[in-house]
Amino acid sequence: MVKTNDALEILGKVSQDDPDLQEMVQVASVNAEVAQLIYAARTQAGLTQQELADLISTQQPVIARLEDADYEGHSLSMLQRIAQALNRRVEIALVPLESDSTVLAQALPQRSSQP
């Protein structure tokens, strides 16, 4: 058995039988990803939190909160303001989960190969 120290992989294995825990892990993962994207874009642009805040007419603590992986209040409008200030655009995609295709296949009536 191969050991891992990837926290998300470990949580995925631990939570596989607990839908509530799976949802909590998913939400936390999305929040952390958004926070990391904001931080990376800001630092790549060479801006401090205060400089970015000034560009989008907000306060530095707002930027700090947005870059906190535990923050759950990300809004699309704020992300668009940040993207515009950093000469970027926001892209959103809804992609199927791997397990959704299995669930969908089980939910659909089985087709017979007979005419």
Q: How does pLDDT run across 39-67, given as a tens digit for each residue?
A: 999 999 999 999 999 999 999 999 999 99
48 domain residue, yes or no: yes
State the CATH number of the domain containing residue 69.
1.10.260.40
pLDDT the model gives residue 63: 97
Write out the residue range of the structural domain in which residue 92 sits. Answer: 7-107
d(CA 38, CA 78): 11
42 domain residue, yes or no: yes
Cβ-Cβ contacts under 8 Å for 83 (sequence gap 6 or more) = 41, 89, 90
pLDDT the model gives residue 115: 47
Q: Of 86 and 101, which is predicted with more confidence?
A: 86
Q: How confident is the model over 89-107, as a mean pLDDT?
A: 70
26 domain residue, yes or no: yes
112 domain residue, yes or no: no
Structural domains in the chain (count): 1
2 domain residue, yes or no: no
97 domain residue, yes or no: yes
